[in-house]
Structure 1
């Protein structure tokens, strides 16, 4: 089996962990910078080229697509899909999860509890609309941000309106959420592979920052999940159409709230915290999927 890892950072921990896991399973692997991929769009014969060489011999791809190149990354993934290549992340699922508003709409409409959320269209609407999610403080998020970027806390209604004004001028789509005080500076990252929870950790802020992202200097510890938290994480991943997901949950007085579902979760923090080889679980998923695909192809002949 030959697997391509779509990554712009071949030396990054997550990429290297996947490379190791693929090789340890006895498979071949190549790291490809998806920004260097050229796409040939011909009737009934789509092809991906990487610096002039065709990519027809890959059995599967593991996309690691950064937020800033989502559109291009999705196009490359889609082309591999059209070539019949299995991908641990579909192009549709990537686009669905990268927009926070779209993701929350899907989750909430299927019964997944989330922090109370609004998207006011104008300053005039914001003033009264903020009352729908309760009293301040409020959390304001850019719809396409990752790793805690574009996430701000407004201590008052006026501060929230001022921040929204600034984002409106920048033509940014933003959402406003309730501030869940009992989980301030803490959340739980759950990794789902296939239809199973394989690892979880609690992340905590190391300062007065209410964001717990490890990219911002937070720390992490082992955490015991409730059965409900496991079920919610698996269902959230399924609703997003993901084979591999990082589901972020807040523990609130109302119960578990899904904060976000990540299509390309980092492996370093959670593998080091839990000691669990998540990359190996991903490779096993690919092997099982390819066996199933070949079985279906054989039965169809």
Structure 2
């Protein structure tokens, strides 16, 4: 199987690429900066260094918020052509804190109280109604950048005055007292494969490793684990870093990260996180390829005249469920010749199902 990792070439990406080489037949490392997307030009839609991209079975794309639109376009192209652990819409969701908060709120995931204003004057009105200290942050930004702490109304108001020239919206968020500590949970699939507690350096409120924070391994409690997994699923990512705080009311989510750094959490926990990611990618890609091969096999059957025969045909296949309902293979639909306005007679018992077109003449 062939895989590609599309990134900005960070150490974490290189670790993941090297780990993937143990499982995949080939792994290409593609620099995001060299990818070109052609829209409506009639040419190959995705080019790398001016050349069409080859076919891959797995595409793991990630990068900073500056490339959110490009990542979304790339993954949209590959959505039905390769296995991808991150859905195309996840990049626009996670790389905008406003949209992230809305999505998490929609899924009932606990977060600190957050306010968004239309401008500086409106923001100052909000500050008059809430308790201090507060956290102020820009909608875009990672690794703790663009996050400010204000312990009083005058300091918050002064920060807003300074930010006015940037003409950017500002999020105002309640401050959760956590002893300058937060939790990074790394979600892979439906599991938290590693978790660490990060403590900020003296005089700093941000516990991010990139801001000098120090991490130590922890056994994440069940509730926090479930919240982290639910957060990753809510934003459309099977591989995701989720940051949490322990509040008086329980764990709350403060951020999701589609390109989590692996150095700090690997050092803190002793877990080979890159290998956990690579093995998961291999298993999911294998499932994707096997499903594609089965579908391609189904497409070959018409050439054997199976759809032109009135004789009863039998096939052996797996079942596809949509929620609690069985979705019959497309092949079966074509074999029966049934249409959406046909009435059918269904006979069923445990381990048995028969569907027959209902003929009024036989009644």
Q: TM-score, normalised by structure 1?
A: 0.91
22, 25, 33: which is aligned to 1:24?
22
Taking a change above 3 Å as real, the CA distance of residues 93 and 142 of structure 1, as seen in their structure-2 partners, is: same
Deviation at 1:98, TM superposition (A): 0.6
Matched residue, 1:7: 7
How far apart, in 2, do the equivalents of 1:126 and 1:41 lie?
39
Cα distance per residue 1:255-282 (max 9 Å; x no partner): 1010111111111111111111222222
1:223 maps to 2:218: yes
Query: Residue in 1 aligned with 2:119?
Result: 122
Aligned to 1:50: 48
Select which of 151, 156, 162 maps to 1:160.
156
CA distance in 2, matches of 1:230, 1:45: 45
Residues 45, 58 of structure 1: alpha-carbon distance in 2 compared, 3 angstrom cutoff:
farther
- Structure 1 stretches (4+) deviating beyond 6 angstroms? none
2:194 pairs with 199, 203, 220, which one?
Answer: 199
What's the CA shift string for 1:88-139, capped at 9, x where partnerless?
Answer: 222210111110111111112321111111112233333342355x421110
| TM superposition shift of 1:26 | 4.5
Question: Residue 296 of structure 1: SS of its match in structure 2?
Answer: helix
In 1, the alpha carbon distance for the partners of 2:54 and 2:36 equals: 13
Matched-pair contact (CA < 8 Å) for 2:120–2:160: yes
Q: Does 1:36 align with 2:34?
A: yes
Q: After the TM superposition, which residues 90-169 of structure 1 pair with which residues of structure 2 at under 5 Å, given as runs?
A: 90-130=87-127, 134-169=130-165
Separation (CA, whole Å) in 2 of partners of 1:146 and 1:89:
18
- Looking at structure 2, the residues matched to 177 and 115 of structure 1 have their Cα atoms a distance apart, in angstroms, of 7
Counterpart of 2:234 in structure 1 is 239
The 10-residue stretch of structure 1 (188-197 or 69-78) with the greater mean CA deviation from structure 2: 69-78
Gaps of 5+ in 2: 299-363
Secondary structure of the corresponding residue to residue 254 of structure 2? strand
Deviation for aligned residue 1:167: 2.7
Shift of 1:42: 5.6
C-alpha change, 1:131 and 1:252, in structure 2 (3 Å) is farther
Q: CA deviation at 1:218?
A: 1.0
CA contact (8 A) 1:180 1:252 kept: yes
Match of 1:263 in 2: 258
Greater CA deviation, 68-77 or 110-119?
68-77
Deviates more, 1:135-144 or 1:120-129: 120-129
Partner of 1:233, secondary structure, is: helix
Task: Measure, in 2, the Cα distance between the counterparts of 1:41 and 1:146.
Answer: 29
Which secondary structure state, in structure 1, belongs to the residue aligned with residue 19 of structure 2? helix
- Give deviations 1:3-44, integer Å, cap 9, x for gaps: 1111222xx320221122111224311111122112344699
Match of 1:86?
Answer: 83
In the other structure, the counterpart of 1:64 is 62
What TM-score, normalized by structure 2, do the two folds share?
0.76
Computing the radius of gyration from Cα coordinates, the structure with the larger value is 2
| Larger RCO, structures 1/2 (Cα 8 Å, 6+ apart) | 1
Alignment partners' CA distance in 2, 1:77 and 1:298? 22
SS at match of 1:87: coil
